[in-house]
């Protein structure tokens, strides 16, 4: 195995086991190179590896510091490398919504076709909850409403895929409802869309339901795009740690 890797592991152990405090400064590259008797190149490569793992962060002219995150729980690693890969790429959010538009549409279409009376009952209940709830905290009812529709499609695969996508969205950004609802006129439109969607499904109009559902997702996506463009930054939940967002610990 490469020396740079061994060193990166040794340093990681030293940091984790040794319980090095966040913001603790690591010896300079030249010092490490000298004391470990290797070239500065391998030190730099090892440090970049640790940087990629989020163990340390490096600031030009100052040095390398232990990240504020960390200990034991390798947290992010559990979620699979896929999440880390997408993290920090805002475009991913819209890619997600692009796919969801299609699938939510299909779910609505199928639901309008295949919903049993029991399904209709559950959807109706979810819809009532959606209308009754305080708009400020209606992320859950919203989720429940869509969930009920998807389940009425009677396609387990579709349920599963949409669920995965929703989880990915929650990891990327606290989205849609939380950000969009503050805007009164937007909320009205969304409420209207929900009502139309509900009626289309209950009265069994598949193509209509599909179009409405797709338009709904599209509307949400566009609204977020607009908000982002006009400066009002989306509330990004940096999955567990804002260690990497570089500009937080500016000057000391």
Partner DNA sequence: AGAGACAACTGGTCCTACCAGTTTTTAAAT
Partner DNA sequence: ATTTAAAAACTGGTAGGACCAGTTGTCTCT
Q: Are 55 and 12 in contact (CB under 8 A)?
A: yes
Closest CA to 178 of 219, 137, 229: 137
Q: What is the DSSP track for 55-66?
A: SEEEETTTEEEE
Q: Which stretch binds a copy of itself (CB under 8 A): 25-33, 104-112, 123-131, 143-151?
A: 104-112
Burial of 250 per CB tally in 10 Å (0-12, 13-18, 19+): exposed
- With binding defined as CB under 7 A, does residue 54 bind DNA? no
Minimum distance from residue 161 beta carbon to DNA (Å): 30
Q: Report the alpha-carbon distance of residue 129 to residue 100 in Å, rounded.
A: 23
Minimum distance from residue 252 beta carbon to DNA (Å): 5
Q: Is 26 helix (H, G, I), strand (E, B) or coil?
A: strand
- Give residue for tokens 């729980």: 73
- With binding defined as CB under 8 A, does residue 208 bind a copy of itself? no
- With binding defined as CB under 8 A, does residue 182 bind a copy of itself? no
Q: Which among DNA, a copy of itself, none contacts residue 64 (Cβ within 5 to 8 A by kind)?
A: DNA
Q: What is the DSSP letter of 38?
A: S
Contacts with DNA, residue ranges (CB under 7 A): 2-4, 26, 28-31, 38-42, 44-45, 47, 58-64, 251-252
Residues that bind a copy of itself (CB under 8 A): 2, 4, 8, 12-13, 15-16, 41, 44-46, 48-55, 60, 67, 69-70, 74-78, 80-82, 84-86, 89, 92, 95-96, 98-99, 102-103, 105-106, 110, 155-158, 160-161, 164-165, 167-168
């Amino acid at each position: 195995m490469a020396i740079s890797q061994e060193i990166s592991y040794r340093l990681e152990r030293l940091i984790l086991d040794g319980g090095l405090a966040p913001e603790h400064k690591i010896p300079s590259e030249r010092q490490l190179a000298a004391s470990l008797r290797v070239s500065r190149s391998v030190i730099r490569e090892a440090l970049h590896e640790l940087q990629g793992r989020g163990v340390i962060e490096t600031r030009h002219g100052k040095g390398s510091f232990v990240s504020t995150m960390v200990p034991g729980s390798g947290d992010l690693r559990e979620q699979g490398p896929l999440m880390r890969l997408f993290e920090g790429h805002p475009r991913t959010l819209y890619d997600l919504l692009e796919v969801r538009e299609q699938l939510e549409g299909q779910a609505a279409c199928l639901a309008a076709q295949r919903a049993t009376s029991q399904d209709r009952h559950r959807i109706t209940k979810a819809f009532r909850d959606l209308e009754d709830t305080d708009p400020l905290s209606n992320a859950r009812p919203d989720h429940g409403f869509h969930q009920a529709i998807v389940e009425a499609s009677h396609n387990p695969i579709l349920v599963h895929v949409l669920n995965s996508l929703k989880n990915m969205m929650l990891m990327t950004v606290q989205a849609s409802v939380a950000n969009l609802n503050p805007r009164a006129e937007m909320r009205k439109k969304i409420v209207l869309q929900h009502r139309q969607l509900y009626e289309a499904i209950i009265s069994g109009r598949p193509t209509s339901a599909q179009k409405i559902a797709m338009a709904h997702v599209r509307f949400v996506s566009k609204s977020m795009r607009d908000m982002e463009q006009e400066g009002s930054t989306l509330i990004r939940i940096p999955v567990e740690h804002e260690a990497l967002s570089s500009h937080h610990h500016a000057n000391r």
